[in-house]
Structure 1
Amino acid sequence: MNATAPEAHPAGPETQLPGRRERKKQRTREALIDAAFDLFGEKGFEATTVEEIADAVDVSSRTFFRYFASKEEVALSFQEEQHHAVLTALAARPREEPVITAMRRAVVEIARACERGELGFDPERFEVMMTLMDNSPSLMASSLEHQQKKQASLTAVIAERMGVDPSADLRPHVVAATAACAFRASADMLQQYREMLGDAPLSETIDRAYAIIEEGLNFPSV
């Protein structure tokens, strides 16, 4: 037994209970997300109810709403994880990389991680999310509503890389908006690329989109 353990971590319910509570809350939250994505994959987003998600975890609907405001929020939890992972990956890119190059490599890195089940991402959940976004107009609308908040945090990271004040410089905002549009265009074009190129992953389509931006958008008219 470690003799210093009692001093570093005093025994007793007062110190141990909060940790257990937090772990239990996290397990319940993850269980609700798992159940939701299982049901979304089986029934689709629109046909799945909050009551069914709660029942699958053997909790009440009231308990569900302690963790999530709606089933849309559950579905979009995967996007939130992706977004935070991209911000982390972008912040870790070498400082000498131009901003679009750094964005391209960070976003493609996280997309590949989602596809391969790396960095803690579930590839099956990723595929369900892609299908839901294609098939549910209401979920797509909710995603777009959340986009502004995500764009603000992305703008802040880009501005920090550029060493500029985003309140006085338009460029980080343009880059962040362009990055969001590139991701959305990639998802929209994915099925068409798969028809042309076979089982093309989203990461490859994203890489193509960012390559276009890197090369420049001032295409000649015809």
Structure 2
Amino acid sequence: MTAPAPETEPTPPPGRRERKKQATREALLDAAFRLFASKGYEATTVEEIAEAVDVSTRTFFRYFASKEDVALTSQEEQFYAVLDAFRRRPPEESALTAMRHAGTLLIEALEVDGLADERMSRFDCLMRLTEESPALRAGSMERTRRKNDEMTRAIAERMGADPERDLRPRMFAAMASTAFMVAADAYRMGVCGFGSFSEAVDAAFEVLEKGFAEY
């Protein structure tokens, strides 16, 4: 069960130039993950990714700082989108309820736009790549540490807690991250018969909200 998102000012549609830039960026991401899936992360070069989209390497670097950046950016963008939505949830919601609604509603929006399966496919590919590439795994772990720190600060702010003195924000950040990962694995593997990723996320957070005492 989800709650409606808080009202926000409508976002004006992007202009033609911005749409073209976004299309180029998405084309580079698509090309990168196709090459990663067929050749592996280490064997794929920036030059090959750019060539697949018929752009120069200079153009590639206008959008991404490195090959690692193009591999990890989708996951980062989704994380920060959820965190932004979490910060904008009504202040009367608990941290757990706010995170549940932020994550579920964002994923539902991706599903409506037909983008959820593409994001999940990239996630699956990234999981395989990090198992195969020590360099990418190290970069992913470092970014995950930074993201967990940011989530801890956002949770502490909502709780009115000092994360340097109060363990709850760090525990909650770890718990929320695990809920998203468990939901992703359950949906990918067909566990519990979830019809969508958003349904799996909502169910994972429902378990957390109810707690385990009854079990």
TM-score range, shorter chain: 0.7 to 0.9
Letter of the 1:72 counterpart: E
Aligned residue number for residue 158 of structure 1: 155
Q: Which moved more, 1:107-116 or 1:34-43?
A: 34-43
Verify the 8 A CA contact 1:100 1:214 in the aligned structure 2.
yes
- Match of 1:217, SS state, is coil
1:134 Cα deviation after fit? 4.4
Question: Structure 2 CA distance, aligned partners of 1:195 and 1:165?
Answer: 38
Q: Scaled by the length of structure 2, what TM-score is found?
A: 0.74
1:144 is the counterpart of 2:141: yes
Alignment coverage as a number of residue pairs: 191
| Identity score, percent | 42
Paired residues of 1:32 and 1:53 also in contact (CA < 8 A): no
State the one-letter code of the partner of 1:212: V
Match for residue 176 of structure 2 among 176, 179, 183: 179
Pick closer, same or farther for the CA change 1:79–1:201 going to 2, 3 Å. same
Q: Distance in 2 between matches of 1:129 and 1:86?
A: 18
Residue number in structure 1 paired with 2:113? 117
Deviation, structure 1 residue 170? 1.2
Unaligned 5+ segments in structure 2 are 1-16
Quote how far apart the aligned CAs of 1:219 are.
Answer: 6.3
**1:148 shift after superposition:** 1.0
Any conservation in 1 of the 2:163–2:169 contact (CA below 8 Å)? yes
Give the distance between the partners of 1:113 and 1:135, measured in 2 at CA. 26
Say if 1:113 and 1:48 are closer, same or farther in 2 by CA, change over 3 A: farther
C-alpha distance in structure 2 between counterparts of 1:115 and 1:155, whole Å: 27
Q: Kindly state the Cα deviation for residue 207 of structure 1 after the two structures are TM-superposed.
A: 1.1
Q: 1:202 aligns to what?
A: 197
Shift of 1:62: 5.2
The equivalent of 1:190 in structure 2 is 187
| Equivalent-residue separation in structure 2 for 1:117 and 1:61 (angstroms) | 30
Query: Over the residues paired in the alignment, what is the CA RMSD in angstroms?
Result: 2.9
Q: Which of 151, 154, 164 pairs up with 1:167?
A: 164
Matched residue, 1:34: 27
Measured after TM superposition, the shift of residue 61 of structure 1 is 3.4
Residue 163 of structure 1 deviates from its aligned partner by 1.2
TM-score calculated relative to the size of structure 1: 0.72
Distance 1:81 1:36 in 2: 13
Of the structure 1 ranges 203-212 and 137-146, higher mean CA displacement relative to structure 2 is found in 137-146
Deviation at 1:36, TM superposition (A): 2.9
SS at match of 1:44: helix
Instruction: State the shift of 1:127 in Å.
Output: 3.4
Q: Which residue of the other structure, out of 69, 79, 84, is the alignment partner of 1:83?
A: 79
Aligned equivalents of 2:109 and 2:142: distance in 1? 25
